[in-house]
Structure 1
Amino acid sequence: MAMKTVSLKTILIILALVLGTCLMIEGLASRPTLAESKAPEKSASSERTVVVLVEPIESRRFEERVMVQGNLEAKNVALVPARSKGTIQSIFVDEGDAVEAGRTRLFQTDPLKFEKTVDIQKQVLAVARCAVLEKEANLAKVRAEFHKAELDYKRFKKLVERGTVSRDEFEQVDSRYQQAEATSRHAEILIKLAREQLRQAQASLVIAQKDLSDALVFAPLSGRVAERYMEPGEMGDTNKSVLRIEDPSLIEASAFLPARYYARVVPGRTKVRLQVYGQTLADRMVSYRSPTIDSRLRTFEIKVEIKDPPEGVVPGAMAEVSVLLDSREGLGVPSQALQKRADSQVVFLINSTKARMVPVKTGLSTDGWTEIQGDGIAKGMSVVVQGQVMLNDGATVSVRKEAR
């Protein structure tokens, strides 16, 4: 009975193995090959439609600009010191006050010393005038004495020739004549000296009067008081500024550019656009380019004049400086339309429902658009600006709408 049971179990196991083997063979026979399984996928991929957005190729103006930051500063500035050493007696203006050249009083140095100097020089001048008068009177006296000596000399010369007077008497008269002649020349020199001293005294008086007038300082230029460095009672000097005056009606934007742009920036021809705290100013020409390049920083300075600047454009402000280096018309596409494929820039043009990949050369970029050149590129063609990353040459596309 035991042998029959074992035999039955063995038979059942064998039957199960045979049945499983048959099912496995049938499954393998019905499974498609690898090539057969991939073929439908490939076919489906090639027929896939990509939804894209397009924009037309446009003719636009492209610009090459270099952007830097600059500072605004007054073109006409005056640091006003005392014109002579002395105590600052009064200051008549404060920071922010408007001043007019030659008319607005700024400050005054203590005038007492200068007033006394003027009085002294007037006295010196009076003495010099008297000295001239004294020397002129002396010259008249000496000339009279010389005239008498000359007459005696001529008379005694005739007498000595006749033998009427002795030789010794003639020699005495001759000596007096020569002395009178020398005295006359000396008197003439003294009067010249007195006249020169008179002119010197006159010049000294003019200088003293100028020093007195300089004690009261007037504005050297029209503008506004930007800074005040001293207060009344402090000691003023010719090398110490009391006030700083700036003319806000004419300011300059100053900026520094890299040395490689030096030859491309030409004063009077190169345009510059300025933006001051969000306020865009009208384009202006470069008014100044430094004659040399800084050998340490490899930069050079440019300046742009701003006449009658608008409100808020004042010295000390910062400006965004945009220098126009080149400008030209060309065909362009939105910059996002460009794709890099195989180390070259390409765009996808749409022809009906197909995308065509076109290699292009890029140029200048302005306001989100890039200048392009390529075979078959023309104005008005539709170029893909969204969805191009999913495209290959010849792909089927569906244009949803034009991007704007």
Structure 2
Amino acid sequence: MAAVPLLLAGCGAEPEAATPEPRPVRAVTVEKREAGTPITLTGRIEADDEAILGFRIAGRVLENSVSRGQRVVAGQVLVRLESQNEMNALRVAQAGLATAQAQLTQARNHYERQETLIGQGWTTRAIYDQAEKARRTAEQAVEAAEAELKAAHDLVGFTELKADAPGTVTDAGPGAGEVVQAGQAIVRLARKDGRDAVFDVPANVLRTVPGDPEISVFLTEAPTVTAMGRVREVAPQADPVMRTFEVKVGLTDPPEAMRLGATVTGRVTMASGAIIEIPASALTRSEQQPAVWIVDPETRTVSMRNVDVLRFEPATVTISQGLDTGEVVVTAGVQALHPGQEVRLLGSSP
């Protein structure tokens, strides 16, 4: 009978909990490497001082005598508008001035006679005052006519678009017969011999390039044609479509072969020094800060550690603080881990 209680007790016993299997993960061993990878971008040659010229009045283009790439001198006529209306207005203003001048001559002669007569007592003060008023009115009429004539001359001059400085035409604009508006871009003029290499640079590249770097620029189709330069201007706002920043590199003594509009390649080396890079998949977050899982080589357990990220790349991240050489960082399976969990590194024995 004693065997029965023992049998019943044995049936009610709970089995021992099974030990969880280590979770398989992939990991890398942290190493430092020397930076200094060159960055290469493609750009174009532009003038460092470029102006857009346009007419002050609207009209129809009569003649466009310039072409792209043409060198011009200061004061050279580039484009003409039809000027019949302006010439007619000029002739009207000239006739108006001639009439005003004739009236002034008549008023002055009458005033001088009245001035003589009043001195001799042969006229009244009222007649003299009227003659003086007529003279002043005629003088003011001449001044107004002269102003109208000057304005008419200016309008005629506005029918000619002239180069304001010596330079090279980079865009010739509308041709003969086209109607243009006041202020419309007609000619683009590079006003100096200085040239820039212009690049569209992503934001992450701007962050990694050292301050005031020396940039090597060469013609894309002729790499032996080279020049050196430094950053002269960085656009304050990104392009709304490409999300890149326009960077202008002022070139020092560029060769003649680097003509305006030519395609060039620029190369700059990133700041040197030892850096730590890990795969981007290793990065997670803890307390709203970047973090990684560290594997203890003795216990094969993991713990989370916050790190400081210097820069992000599509496949890697550069760590500035938080990791040291020789540490093991989990790169795959980071979302399924918890502190103290035992892991098995894939590719190693269990």
Q: TM-score range by the shorter chain?
A: 0.5 to 0.7
What does 1:254-333 align with in structure 2 at a 5 Å threshold? Answer: 254=198, 255-256=200-201, 258=203, 261=206, 269-277=212-220, 279=223, 281-290=226-235, 292=236, 294=238, 300-306=245-251, 309-310=254-255, 313-323=258-268, 326=271
Residue 107 of structure 1 and its aligned partner are, at CA, apart by 2.9
5 Å-filtered alignment, 1:1-400, equals 63=36, 67-103=40-76, 105-144=77-116, 147=119, 180=125, 184-185=128-129, 187-246=131-190, 249-254=193-198, 255-256=200-201, 258=203, 261=206, 269-277=212-220, 279=223, 281-290=226-235, 292=236, 294=238, 300-306=245-251, 309-310=254-255, 313-323=258-268, 326=271
Conserved in 1, the CA contact under 8 Å of 2:227 and 2:252? no
Q: Distance in 1 between matches of 2:133 and 2:40?
A: 76
Q: Comparing 231-240 with 195-204, which one deviates more in the overlay?
A: 231-240
Distance 1:299 1:95 in 2: 28
Cα separation, 2, equivalents of 1:137 and 1:238: 46
RMSD: 4.4
CA distance in 2, matches of 1:225, 1:282: 23
* Per-residue CA distance 1:337-389 (angstroms, 9 max, x = gap): xxxxx99xxxxxxxxxxxxxxxxxxxxxxxxxxxxxxxxxxxxxxxxxxxxxx
The CA deviation at 1:252 is: 1.6
SS at match of 1:120: helix
The letter for the 1-side match of 2:80 is Q
The answer (yes or no) to whether the contact 1:90–1:109 under 8 Å persists in 2 is: yes
Matched residues in 1 for 2:131 and 2:209: separation?
A: 75
Could you tell me which amino acid in structure 2 is paired with residue 124 of structure 1? G
| Shift in CA distance, 198/275, structure 1 to aligned 2, threshold 3 Å | same
The answer on whether the counterparts of 1:248 and 1:315 sit within 8 Å (CA) in structure 2 is no
TM-score normalised per structure 1? 0.47
In the TM superposition, residue 307 of structure 1 has moved relative to its aligned partner by 5.7
Distance 1:118 1:307 in 2: 50
Which residues of structure 2 form unaligned runs of 5+? Answer: 1-33, 275-293, 296-350
Larger Rg computed on CA atoms: 1
Q: What percent of counterpart residues are identical?
A: 19
Shift in alpha-carbon separation, 1:298–1:201, aligned structure 2, 3 A: same
Letter in 2 for 1:98: R
AA of the residue aligned to 1:200 = A
Equivalent-residue separation in structure 2 for 1:85 and 1:192 (angstroms): 38
Q: 1:298–1:87: structure 2 CA closer, same or farther, 3 Å change rule? A: closer
Q: In proportion to residue count, which structure has more helix?
A: 1
User: Aligned in 2, Cα 1:213/1:308: closer, same or farther, shift over 3 Å?
Assistant: farther
Unaligned 5+ segments in structure 1 are 1-60, 152-175, 331-341, 344-404
Amino acid in the other structure paired with 2:230:
M
1:151-190, Cα deviation, whole Å (9 max, x unpaired): 9xxxxxxxxxxxxxxxxxxxxxxxx97xx26x55554444
Q: 1:249: Cα distance to partner?
A: 3.7
